[in-house]
Amino acid sequence: MTRATHDLHDLGQSIWLDNITRTILDDGSLAKLIEEYSVTGLTSNPSIFDKAISSGVYNDAIRSSEAGKSAEEVFFDLAIEDLTRAADLFRPIYDRTAGVDGFVSLEVSPELAYDAESTVAAAIELHARAARPNLFIKIPGTPEGLPAVEEAIAAGVPVNVTLLFDAAQYEAAADAYLRGVERRVAAGLDPSVASVASVFMSRWDRAVVDSVPAELKDRLGLAVGGDTYRAYRRVLDSERSQRLLSFGGRAQRLLWASTSTKDPASPDDLYVRGLAAPGTVNTMPDTTLEAFYDHGTLAGVMAADGGGCDEALAAFAAAGVDVTALAATLQKDGADAFVTSWNDLIAIVAEQLAAS
């Protein structure tokens, strides 16, 4: 019997783990997920590191860090150490797929969200420190972050554009990526710079759970996903994208993020089964990955035309949901939440440094 994770991988979608801790590196858990669960990459963010550092796993490493370093410097030392170890585990996949898969991600400080110049400088510096070709630097796809995305791509830094929520936000991120690649082509530089565009899913349904009729429950995320996938296919097929491919560029891949089901009454593989599409990535937290491996099912692939998403979105509009306005709210709330997690983890690191 094949597992659902194997079937999803064979369908052509990459499965990435939405987690990183030193424990899964030390005890072989990550290696097992690669071998048995078809996991081919992973992502991290301030919330993930906040939970990991709050657990106390890093206390000894923090206390033994080099004297005189700030809490932020110590954090990035720890994060880069873990993510380069993970990147090395995924390196055979990166090599086998010619740089399509096998990535890990490290986010710049969320406090730089409104400073494009500093974001780009941090992205270049962090990627150089990690010295791994299969490490993405995560930059928020907010209006303020998109210029930094373009500049980082133009500088040759692989970017995971994060905190995207709908088709319009995805298309803006794709445009920033393509502008960066176009600048490299114009300058005679290698246009093969990898990128993913991370679109967050489950937060949609959580946001409207108390304000829509029962028949619309847990349908908004997948409707927005269908609309976004349609936009993704349109971007890939565009003359602009095809021209850059002819110069040796590569496609920015669509990544489904936040794919755990928040409603206990709904299937725990709701956003995995509903977002299955070749050429994309689904990054899953541990519980969702374990559940899908254990009893998940596939129901075909996403329709290139959105699969009826227009009718579903119209039903939500009739119920009073302004999807465009909600996308902007979700993006802002997500950015604010990352700043909160960032401040929490830096405070914990500072506390441990003071105790050393």
Which segments of the chain are extended strands (E)? Answer: 14-17, 39-42, 104-107, 135-140, 159-164, 195-200, 253-257, 281-284
The pLDDT assigned to 49 comes to: 87
Return the amino acid letter for 353: L
Which band of pLDDT confidence, cut at 50, 70 and 90, is reported for residue 174?
very high
pLDDT at 66 over 90: no
3-state secondary structure of 290: helix
List Cα–Cα distances, 41 to 14, 83, 93, 269, in angstroms.
Answer: 8, 11, 9, 19
Residue 241: count other Cβ atoms within 10 Å of its Cβ.
Answer: 20
pLDDT at 182 over 60: yes
Return the amino acid letter for 254: L
Mean pLDDT of all residues belonging to the chain: 95
- Please compute the mean of the pLDDT values over residues 216-228 and round it to a whole number: 97
Could you tell me which residues come within 8 angstroms of residue 291 by beta carbon, excluding any fewer than 6 positions away? 268, 269
Return the amino acid letter for 250: R
What is the tens place of the pLDDT at every residue in 108-156? 999 888 889 999 999 999 999 999 999 999 999 999 999 999 999 999 9
Task: Reply yes or no on whether 51 is catalytic.
Answer: no
User: Domains of the chain by range and CATH?
Assistant: 4-355 (3.20.20.70)
- Please, are residues 201 and 258 in contact by the beta-carbon 8 Å criterion? yes
Q: What does DSSP say about strands 159-164 and 195-200: parallel, antiparallel, or unpaired?
A: parallel
* Active-site entry in 138, 217, 262, 332: 138
pLDDT at 241 over 60: yes
